[in-house]
Amino acid sequence: MSKTIWVGVVAYDPKVVTIWEGMRSYFHDEAQLPVEIVLFQSYENQVLALLAQPGELVPHIDIAWNTNLAYLQADEWSGHTCRAIAMRDTDLGWMTKIVAVTGGPISTVADLKDRTLAIGSRDSGHAAILPVYFLEEQGMREGIDYRTLRFDSDVGKHGDTGTSEVEVVRAVLDGRADAGAIGSPFWNLVRSEHLVPEGGLREIWSSQAYNHCMFTARPDLDLEQERRFSEALSAMNYDNPKHRAILDAEGLRRWLPPHLDGYAALRQAADQQGFFRRS
């Protein structure tokens, strides 16, 4: 039998177990690929396991299902020797949105001068790291030109739970913050599911597009195993009802090869804000 491929995923929600039980069954039963799943409570520990060396008393995994920040941390900490494998179609074209109460005093980024911006968990690329970075590009510096109200409700999960974005929206609606920064997927959900009163919030600013999650391989993963893993992902078909249930739960229609051109802004922002320093 081929060597088992150990895949790390972060348990940010109970549904993660269901999703990856389905993925494991697919790999074993259809792709004929021995894949086992390791659950982690934080992306930092998952990246450490991905980069673990022989003899280190930590778990060792071959592939990690990483956020964009975790992918960049693995890339930086491995000396750019980790390899990007695959991503979801929905990982392309994320944006950060700044929203404010409709009819309120905030209609542009400049209106945030000496006011309060609510942002998400400090390790959330879309709801904290990038908003601060993008605003600084426009001459608005955190703590100098505007204040931040931070909701560090899911630190270690890189914003995956969405809890901090819910808190951001609540803070804007109840007046604790003048505006809030959230990711475009959550903003789309707010509007499609009518999570706030109709017309209660408006988008006042949108960032450039960037990319999100990435399967990341440890530097010494056998290239044939990596190829078989990638091909198994690519073979999942949304028209297959069994595959569709898994794909829908993970929020995609098809797996894509790596698109590496959407990480430059977060790489620079994470570096500036100290996320590449190892504790």
Beta bridge partners of 91: none
Long-range contacts of 247-250 (CB under 8 A, 24+ apart): 249/15, 249/18, 249/19, 249/22, 250/19, 250/23, 250/88
pLDDT reading at 258 higher than 60:
yes
For each of the domains in the chain, give its residue range(s) and CATH number, in order of start.
Answer: 5-91+211-272 (3.40.190.10), 96-206 (3.40.190.10)
Are 166 and 150 a contacting pair, CB within 8 Å? Answer: no
pLDDT reading at 267 higher than 50:
yes
Query: What's the one-letter identity of residue 228?
Result: R
Query: What's the one-letter identity of residue 200?
Result: G
pLDDT of residue 1: 42
116, 115, 119, 144: which is closest to 131 by C-alpha?
119
Mean pLDDT of the region 180-201: 94
Which two tokens mark 165?
């974005």
Mean pLDDT of the region 38-66: 95
pLDDT reading at 6 higher than 80:
yes
Residue 213: Cβ within 10 Å count: 23
Can you give the length of the chain in residues?
Answer: 279
pLDDT reading at 111 higher than 80:
yes
Q: Tell me whether strands 5-10 and 96-101 are parallel, antiparallel or unpaired.
A: unpaired
Confidence at 2, pLDDT banded by 50, 70, 90: low
Report the percent of the chain where pLDDT is more than 90: 94
Mean pLDDT of the region 105-121: 97
187, 127, 114: which is closest to 153 by C-alpha?
127
Mean pLDDT of the region 32-45: 97
pLDDT of residue 89: 98
Q: How far apart are CA 218 and CA 74, in angstroms?
A: 9
DSSP string, the chain: -PPPEEEEEE-SSTHHHHHHHHHHHHHHHTS---EEEEEES-HHHHHHHHTPPTT-SS---SEEEE-HHHHHHHHHHTTS-SEEEEEEGGGSSB-EEEEEETTSS--SGGGGTTSEEEE--TT-IIIIIHHHHHHHHTT--BTTTBEEEE--SSTTTTTTT-HHHHHHHHHHHTTS-SEEEEEHHHHHHHHHTT-S-TTSEEEEEE---B---EEEE-TTS-HHHHHHHHHHHHT--TTSHHHHHHHHHHT-S-EE---GGG-HHHHHHHHHTTTT---
pLDDT of residue 198: 86
What is the model's pTM? 0.96
| Span 123-162, pLDDT tens digits | 999 999 999 999 999 999 999 999 999 999 989 999 999 9
Q: What is the mean pLDDT of the chain?
A: 96
Cα separations in angstroms, 40 against 105, 175, 187: 43, 36, 27
| Span 204-256, pLDDT tens digits | 999 999 999 999 999 999 999 999 999 999 999 999 999 999 999 999 999 99
Which two tokens mark 23?
């993925």
Are 148 and 142 a contacting pair, CB within 8 Å? Answer: yes
pLDDT reading at 54 higher than 90:
no
